[in-house]
Structure 1
Amino acid sequence: MHYPAFDTKEFYWYWGGGGHVGFWNGNDAVWADDNKSYTIIGADGILGLEYNFDEIPLNISLDWQPAINFVGHSGFWFDGGGLSIRYLFR
């Protein structure tokens, strides 16, 4: 979902959700038991702000991506985030 921000045509707030499935070996995670395989299933959220340049076909955004695992190593992961620079096809 996109909504105008700061009463401008360049800035937008966005939010959304989704899911994830992950597989890994215990040797690759600090908290996991060695020699054990893990599968996780959970839900993700995203909340961010983006800026669309008028002069050039680029977009830049900064977002927060919290997640919760329901299966496997369950818990809330609040430290996800991202910085994106995208080319816009107009």
Structure 2
Amino acid sequence: MSDDVRLSAWVHGRVQGVGFRWWTRARALELGLTGFAANKDDGRVHVVARGPRESCERLLELLRGGATPGSVDLVVDDWSGPGDPIEGFTER
């Protein structure tokens, strides 16, 4: 699909050990996205989502929306072409 994109979002705040990756996976699957949510050693969560731009934009809105587990201070996003397909949406 030509409108597919890849969103890479670095989520800062209290987002580890609070169910954030599980919550992100559930929202991404509801939106029909593939990708992953991974804890990083510095306390951030790295979210990569692949699919239609509108769905990725909605996921980004949800990540910034205040209804996540824990507390999000900042989300830094980066957009690119879809790249290679990703199977499913996993927590790492």
Compute the TM-score of the two structures, normalised by the length of structure 1: 0.26
Of structures 1 and 2, the larger Rg is shown by 1
User: Structure 2 length normalisation: TM-score?
Assistant: 0.25
Which protein has the bigger helix share? Answer: 2
More strand by share: 1
Higher relative contact order (CA 8 A, sep 6+): 2
